[in-house]
Amino acid sequence: MFITPTMLGSLIAGVACWLLFWYGVSHVDSIPYLNQYLSRKMIMDWIRKNPQLALIITELINVGMHGLGSAAGVLFTVAGTFVNATMILGVAPAQGFISNALQKHIT
């Protein structure tokens, strides 16, 4: 399989799209009106408690939005899957571990 410029663009776009989503999650505290109901800590705690469900939900959104009809769509979805899995299974638990370690160190 050759990686064409279109396919490479789809990979980059998939990564960028989901990184923007996770950036929004990490800055939900600064969104007016929404911050009255949600907080970053609340979302990240839920993700840490339910990583499989969080990954399934993000993948349903990912496949639902971009589909599997073309090679470019598949690569966009694969890139999104990689970013989501990294955030849910890697970054979120690491943030929780660091946060807990800092809380123990401060008190």
Position 52 in a domain: yes
Position 45 in a domain: yes
Widest pairwise Cα distance in the chain:
55
88: how many CB neighbours lie within 10 A of its CB? 21
Q: Which domain holds residue 54?
A: 40-107
pLDDT at 45: 93
50-103: per-residue pLDDT in tens? 999 999 999 999 999 877 788 888 999 999 999 999 999 999 889 888 887 878
* Of 40, 52, 58, the residue nearest 99 (C-alpha): 40
Measure the CA angle with vertex 93, ends 28 and 26; round to 5°.
Answer: 15
Position 84 in a domain: yes
pLDDT at 100: 79
Position 62 in a domain: yes
Spell out a b/e string for 22-40, using b for 16 or more CB atoms within 10 Å of the CB, else e: beeeeebeeeeeeeeeeee
Position 11 in a domain: no
Position 30 in a domain: no
Q: Count the domains in the chain.
A: 1
Position 88 in a domain: yes
Q: pTM for the full model?
A: 0.85
pLDDT at 103: 81
Position 26 in a domain: no
5-52: per-residue pLDDT in tens? 888 999 999 999 999 999 999 999 998 998 899 999 999 999 999 999
